[in-house]
């Protein structure tokens, strides 16, 4: 039973992060179903969207920007949509409540320890961002303090004070980002407490999550999404599988239990290291992970006469580029399971693939981000037999 709609968030107009705050949840699902239907319906029947039972506080990763207001008071929150203006936030309906509480505590501790927040206009100050990741299954919590300088006055006393108020925190890191950039994390990092990573359980597997690695933001719906992807792939234990854009190996390792062999490819070296560690952590021996461009990797496989039965692809919002899609055609797998967070770019890519000998067999929308306009879709394609 879904909770009753309580009206739009009071910060909805200022923040702009949740575009569908004016809609009750069932209406949001109908809106997203219609969006997918209009974009992908020409390729086949769109199945009913899979929504959440409890569409609140689903974000396991919370990022807060720190700054000062006109009265020189420390504020923290989110950037207003398409700006670098901070909208102060203490709690958010989509964010993990533990993470929100930790960020509020850090804001207060800054004042107590006489530490400053970063002022973008003046380009000075200490704390720029706080990143909190929480394993919903394990309860493990990572806090990343993103600072403009490696100099951290009384850091161990600060860490001790933070842990006293939030003993649920299992690791704390300091990340240094001195540059004027839209990127949150810098390259220099130091562990202040704990192992420097957290673990979470997803689809029955344990995953190691570092500060920089990508992990799906809504773990509840990720299990729904990946379960559907595995169902569509129809693995029997005999297949050779490619996990393109593999990240920390969530899809590939989930597939490894039902396939003969899994090969994961990802450009982010940190994520690949996590994927290799995750395979070892779960005792999985039939999955290998490589750092590199997935398209180039598949082209090289095809040129060497190598084959793959199934390719899972989960590209970023911009979709796949022509080079990747051409390499996919070259490798010519029997099935392609295309997971997308942007049905508009997915529609573009499906047009290319269907013109090159593939047919869409099933389209399943999944609501990963309630209250926002975003919708995830998983599409099964198979090679048309000549």
The residues assigned a catalytic role are 341
Q: What is the DSSP string of 53-111?
A: SS-SS-BSEEEEEEEE-TT--EEEEEEPTTS--EEE-S--SSB-HHHHHHHHHHHHHHH
Q: At what angle do helices 155-165 and 97-112 cross, to 10 degrees?
A: 140
What is the distance of C-alpha 252 from the center of its chain?
16
Read off the DSSP letter of residue 30. H
Alpha carbon separation from 173 to 163, 190, 209 (Å, rounded): 13, 6, 13
Q: How many residues does the chain have?
A: 386
Distance CA(365)–CA(355), nearest Å, equals 23
Q: Parallel, antiparallel, or unpaired: how do β-strands 358-366 and 287-291 relate?
A: unpaired
- Containing 158, the helix (H) or strand (E) segment is helix 155-165
Q: Within 13 Å, how many C-alpha atoms sit on residue 38's CB side? A: 7
335-371 CB burial, b ≥16 within 10 A, e <16: bbbbbbbbbebbbebbebbeeeebebebbbbbbbbbb
């Amino acid at each position: 039973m879904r909770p009753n709609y309580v009206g739009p968030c009071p910060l909805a107009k200022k923040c702009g992060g949740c575009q569908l705050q004016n809609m009750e949840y069932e209406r949001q699902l109908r809106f997203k179903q219609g969006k997918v239907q209009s974009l992908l319906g020409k390729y086949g029947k769109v199945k009913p969207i899979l929504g959440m039972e409890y569409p609140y506080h689903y974000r396991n990763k919370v990022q807060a920007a720190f700054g000062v207001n006109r009265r020189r008071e420390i504020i923290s929150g989110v950037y207003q949509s398409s700006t670098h203006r901070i909208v102060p936030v203490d709690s958010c309906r989509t964010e993990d409540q533990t993470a929100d509480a930790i960020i509020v505590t850090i804001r207060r501790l800054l004042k107590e320890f006489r530490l400053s927040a970063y002022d973008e206009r003046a380009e000075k100050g200490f704390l720029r961002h706080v990143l909190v990741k929480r394993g919903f299954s394990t309860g493990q919590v990572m806090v990343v303090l993103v600072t403009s300088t490696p100099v951290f006055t009384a850091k161990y006393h600060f860490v001790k004070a933070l842990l006293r108020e939030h003993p649920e925190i299992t690791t704390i890191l300091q990340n240094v980002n001195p540059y004027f950039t839209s990127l949150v994390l810098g390259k220099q990092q130091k562990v202040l407490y704990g192992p420097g990573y957290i673990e979470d359980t997803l689809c029955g597997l344990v995953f190691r999550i570092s500060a920089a690695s990508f992990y799906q933001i809504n773990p509840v719906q990720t299990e729904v999404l990946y379960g559907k992807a595995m169902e569509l792939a129809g693995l029997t234990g005999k297949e050779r599988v490619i996990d393109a854009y593999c990240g920390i190996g969530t899809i590939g390792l989930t597939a490894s239990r039902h396939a003969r062999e899994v090969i994961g490819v990802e450009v982010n070296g940190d994520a690949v290291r996590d994927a290799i560690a995750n395979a070892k952590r779960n005792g999985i021996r039939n999955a290998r992970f490589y750092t590199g461009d997935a398209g180039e990797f598949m082209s090289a496989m095809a040129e060497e006469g190598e084959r793959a039965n199934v390719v899972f692809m989960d590209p970023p919002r911009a979709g796949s580029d022509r080079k990747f899609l051409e390499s996919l055609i070259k490798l010519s797998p029997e099935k392609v399971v295309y997971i997308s967070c942007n049905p508009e770019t997915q529609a573009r890519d499906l047009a290319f693939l269907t013109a090159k000998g593939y047919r869409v067999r099933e389209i399943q929308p999944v609501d990963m981000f309630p209250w926002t306009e975003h919708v995830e879709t998983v599409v099964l394609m198979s090679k048309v037999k000549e």
